[in-house]
């Protein structure tokens, strides 16, 4: 069924290409470009709490480096670390390793060497938007994520995946592109769920409203409120994995 859906999507894209391609080029020119958030790429939340810190890694694309807000403390990694520390009653030593615009395959080559020399208890992989917009094949998508997950697990980390964001709600995109890319994102996320099951890893839905107050000025990335709500939902679903950490 998934192969049929993927084939149907490519057929639809081919039929709509004369309309979709100019829209994509126009959207690329007009979309506001926001920089990564400022601040250190590592830190500790809940320093006054007792116990050994939970060592948390976020690896991924622009949301990992906080595009959409000014400081990493207000971005996904800072908010998630604070939420986990409060929920679990222990410090959380966090690290963000990401790059704006990166795909999973590029991250396997460029980001993984930066983190494999450091131990982590919990690693959350946050990918999907760039692989959706760059039309990464499902096989390459799965292979890159599987390779990273297995490498982190081999070093003792509990691995979890954040779901592919629903691009059909990204207001920076014209309606037709939102529909096409939203369907493509769904195909990638279905493959991601299957990969998570095969690896025994977690798959955690981006539980976020995509109304204006939850989005940054670019209509593409979360706002501070959006990151906070996303992080709070993740803290709840990641709690069992955090409790299994030493």
DSSP per-residue string spanning 46-75: -TTS-SPPEEEEEEESTTTTTTTSSBGGGS
> What CATH number does the domain containing 108 carry?
3.40.50.1110
What pLDDT, on the 0 to 100 scale, is given for residue 209?
77
Number of domains comprising the chain: 1
Alpha-carbon gap, residue 45 to 168, rounded angstroms: 34
What pLDDT, on the 0 to 100 scale, is given for residue 100?
94
DSSP-based three-state secondary structure for 209? coil
Assess if residue 127 is contained within a domain: yes
Counting as low any pLDDT under 70, the low residues of the chain are 1-2, 10, 17, 23-27, 29-30, 242-246
Domain that holds residue 217: 37-244
Helices assigned H by DSSP within the chain: 2-30, 76-88, 104-110, 112-115, 129-133, 138-154, 175-199, 224-244
The torsion region of residue 22 among left (phi > 0), alpha (psi -120 to 50) and beta comes to: alpha
What pLDDT, on the 0 to 100 scale, is given for residue 45?
96
What pLDDT, on the 0 to 100 scale, is given for residue 206?
87
State the CB neighbour count (10 A cutoff) for residue 56. 26
What pLDDT, on the 0 to 100 scale, is given for residue 219?
84
Report residue 79 as tokens: 């908010």
Assess if residue 68 is contained within a domain: yes
What pLDDT, on the 0 to 100 scale, is given for residue 97?
98
What pLDDT, on the 0 to 100 scale, is given for residue 245?
61
């Amino acid at each position: 069924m998934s192969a049929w859906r993927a084939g149907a999507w490519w057929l639809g894209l081919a039929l709509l290409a004369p309309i979709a391609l100019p829209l994509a080029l126009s959207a690329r020119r007009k979309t506001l470009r926001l920089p990564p958030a400022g601040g250190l790429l590592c830190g500790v939340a809940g320093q006054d709490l007792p116990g050994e810190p939970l060592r948390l890694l976020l690896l991924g694309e622009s949301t990992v480096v906080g595009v959409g807000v000014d400081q990493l403390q207000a971005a996904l990694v800072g908010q998630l670390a604070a939420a986990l520390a409060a929920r679990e009653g222990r410090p959380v030593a966090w690290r963000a390793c990401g790059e704006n615009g990166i795909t999973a395959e590029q991250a396997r080559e460029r980001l993984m060497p930066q983190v494999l020399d450091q131990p982590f208890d919990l690693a959350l992989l946050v990918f999907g938007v760039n692989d959706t917009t760059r039309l990464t094949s499902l096989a390459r998508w799965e292979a890159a994520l599987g390779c990273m997950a297995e490498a982190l697990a081999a070093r003792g980390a509990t691995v979890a995946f954040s779901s592919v964001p629903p691009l059909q709600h990204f207001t920076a995109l014209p309606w037709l592109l939102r529909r096409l890319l939203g369907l493509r994102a769904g195909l990638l996320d279905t493959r991601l769920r299957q990969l998570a099951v095969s690896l025994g890893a977690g798959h955690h839905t981006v539980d976020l409203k995509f109304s204006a107050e939850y989005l940054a000025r670019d209509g593409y990335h979360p706002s501070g409120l959006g990151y906070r709500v996303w992080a709070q939902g993740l803290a709840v679903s990641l709690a069992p994995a955090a409790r299994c950490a030493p």
